[in-house]
Amino acid sequence: MPDKRTILSGNGVGDDVAIGSSFFYAHSLDTPIYKIEEDDIEEEYKRFDEAVNKSIEEIKLLQMNADNNIKNILSIHILMLQDKVIEKQVKEEVKNKLFNIEHIYDTIISEYLEKLSSINNKMLSERSSDIIDIKTRLIKNLIQPNSAYYFQVPKNSIVIAKTLTPSDVLKFNNIGAEGFIVESGGYTSHTAILAKSFGIAIIFNITDISSKIKNGKKIIIDCKSNIVIMNPSKKDINNYTMLSDKIKKFKEKSILDAKEKAVTKDNIEIKINANIDIPEETESLLKYGIDSIGLYRTEFLYMFSDEEIITELPTEEAQFEVYKYIASKIKGKVIIRTLDIGGDKISPALGLDFKEDNPFLGWRAIRFCLQNKKLFKDQIKALLRASHYGNIEIMIPMISTLEEIEDTKKFIEDVKEELKKENQNFNENIKIGVLIETPSAAEIIDLIVKEADFLSIGSNDLVQYMMACDRTNEKLTYLYNPIDISVLRTLKKIINTANENNKPIALCGEMAGVPEYTPVLLGLGIREFSMPIKSISAVKNIIRNVSIEECRNLVNEMLEKCSNSFSKSSLYNFRKKFNI
Ligand code: PEP
Ligand code: MG
């Protein structure tokens, strides 16, 4: 792979840029394949020798805390890593074939493993798992030679990964990563949502990443132009440093814009609440002058703590402290969503049994909570107790049936009784709202509206389930369309029903924070939005530039024409006309 300036295209989230040095998150990567020059051979040999030594050191460390049995197995691993026959074969093939050493090593060992599996011998096939283990370790140390643990990743790194989980994002945020380049995922994935809320540049959908990008090299991410520049020129670095400063200044101005009210040209005030994922975001929310939370995703409390992935569920007391902290800081309402674990959010503390074939259609959110009463009770108790210290409202995610609402409300009433017996203070009239994010909930919205104190539309999931299209699957981005005619009709029905019944309704999915959708949502009747803090100023600026009547006309036209390409072009014209 030549070290020349190369541009790769992907799908960036937001407008951020990042300049840093590439860091391969080896656990998630395929073995890279690239051609080398004859001049590179010695360097490849050196990398191999160093990776072997590092692997041996790691194994020796593991041996220190192991019992005798394990110690013996690990000694065999060391002997295998020192195998001179393999080393000779690997080095010869690098010289003859002129491919990178990890690819050659991977191929030789894989062929060896294949031969072993064809021999019907139990002892030999048991040896296979040792060989796979050694192979994985050595390849990890070849492609990620500088660090063994994520917390040793140098600051200002741009993390390159095949996939990233929300927990990975938190870990890398803690060590000050500048950006992420990920092979697969989408802008409504929780990974993207979390990266955006930390202000870390993230770009998805760059295929075959490990063959295209080298470890430890200067690299730039430009999310707005959807590109990655490898081995940037001096000019690139100067330009992007300037752009990055400009973005910083723009962000400072955004804070001022976010503080002002959002009133349309025809004098309708639109309420903007914030979405938060972690309690620490409360501080930035105050900085932006926002005094209400429309969605606090509590599941991250179950996934990781400040330092590490957690292995124990948060106690009632620990949750109470967090909810109380947020509620006492924020003057307006604080909508806290009950645990929405499942889908792409897995809690290590819930154990391995929680793996499913179709997690987005699985044991998620309220379905899980209603079958795990002890865990759910801890959360409801903590929420109710914290409601004494601020304006907490409870929101239930992933409702698909009326019975789920009834069961949840009954459950909350029972917990209230228990708290009364314990003489605990709480808000007896706490509001219980429903997140509308399944097609079934949308279909029975006339029934749900009577049971709920308020509604919020979870468009991320609603679009996913309506279009039968995984929100994290990059191959389906063409289908994942929040203004598809089917979605527009459904949104209209939900919003009209809420408005006719005088029930507060907001929209809190990612589309709320995408400025080009703002006129559509206003035209559909949304008067309350909830979005990531970083999107607030841009959306408010659009609201100030439009009238409700113009937005209504736009939506009516989109609904009448029933054509997605018409919708797309009318949005484009609308944006042009109003300079937004
Ligand atoms: C949604 O689905 O739109 C939503 C707000 O919830 P989440 O993104 O956490 O699934
Ligand atoms: Mg959702």
Residue 66 pLDDT: 65
| pLDDT tens profile 205-238 | 888 887 788 878 899 999 999 999 999 999 999 9
Determine the distance separating the centroid of ligand 1 and the alpha carbon of 302, expressed in angstroms: 17
CATH architecture of the domain with range 26-143: Orthogonal Bundle (1.10)
Count CB atoms within 10 A of the CB of residue 402: 15
Candidate list 190, 223, 369, 469, residue with the active-site label = 190
Distance, first Cα to last Cα, the chain: 42
| Range of weakest confidence among 61-70, 89-98, 164-173 | 61-70
pTM of the model: 0.71
In terms of DSSP bridges, do strands 11-13 and 201-204 run parallel, antiparallel, or are they unpaired?
antiparallel
Within 10 A of 146 (CB to CB), how many other CB atoms are there? Answer: 14
In this predicted structure, what is the pLDDT of residue 151?
56
What mean pLDDT do residues 518-539 have? 95
Mutation choice for ligand 1 from 508, 511, 529, 530, CB with most ligand atoms inside 8 A: 508
Q: Is the CB of 168 under 6 A from ligand 1?
A: no
The Å distance, Cα 313 to ligand 1 centre, comes to: 22
For ligand 1, atom 6, which residue shows the shortest CA distance? 458
Using the predicted structure, report yes or no on whether residue 36 has a pLDDT greater than 70.
yes
**Separation CA 179–CA 220 (nearest Å):** 9
Among 38-42, 114-118, 551-555, 566-570, where is mean pLDDT lowest? Answer: 114-118
Which ligand lies nearest to the CA atom of residue 508 in the structure?
A: 1
φ, ψ for residue 347, nearest 5 deg: -100, 120
pLDDT at 176: 83
Active site residue 388: no
- The pLDDT tens digits for 453-472 are 999 999 999 999 999 999 98
CATH 3.30.160.110 assigned to domain 267-577? The reply is no
- Position 576 pLDDT exceeds 90: no
Q: Does residue 299 have its Cβ closer than 6 Å to ligand 1? A: no
What gap in Å lies between CA 81 and CA 86, rounded to an integer?
9
Q: Is the pLDDT of residue 1 over 50?
A: no
**463 in ligand 1 pocket by Cβ < 6 Å?**
no
The pLDDT-based confidence of 307 (bands split at 50, 70, 90) is very low
The residues, ordered by sequence, that sit 6+ positions from 405 with a Cβ below 8 Å of its Cβ are 396, 399, 434, 448, 451, 452
What does the pLDDT look like over 317-352, one tens digit per residue? 999 999 999 999 999 999 999 999 888 887 766 764
pLDDT at 152 over 90: no
* Ligand 2 centroid from CA 297, angstroms: 9
| Locus of tokens 């995984």 | 470
What is the model's pLDDT at position 412?
98
Counting residues of the chain whose pLDDT is more than 70, the rounded percentage is 92
Share of the chain above pLDDT 90, in %: 58
* Ligand 1 atom closest to 458 (CA): 3
CA 243 to CA 286: how far, in whole Å? 27
**The pLDDT of residue 400 is above 90:** yes
> Would you state the pLDDT for residue 335?
98
Sequence-ordered list of residues with C-beta below 8 angstroms from that of 422, at least 6 positions apart, any chain: none
| 370 vs 289, more confident | 370
Report the candidate in 2, 17, 438 with the shortest Cα–Cα distance to residue 248.
17
Distances (CA, A) of 496 to 275, 467, 490, 502: 24, 22, 10, 10
Indicate where the chain has its CATH 1.10.274.10 domain(s).
26-143
- Find the 118 Cα to ligand 2 centroid distance in Å: 47
Higher pLDDT, 120 or 505: 505
Average of per-residue pLDDT across 152-178: 81
The answer, yes or no, to whether residue 74 has pLDDT greater than 90, is no
- The 10s digit of each residue's pLDDT in 466-498 is 999 999 888 898 899 999 999 999 999 999 999
Measured CA to CA, the distance from residue 194 to residue 204 in angstroms comes to 14
Share the mean pLDDT of the chain: 88
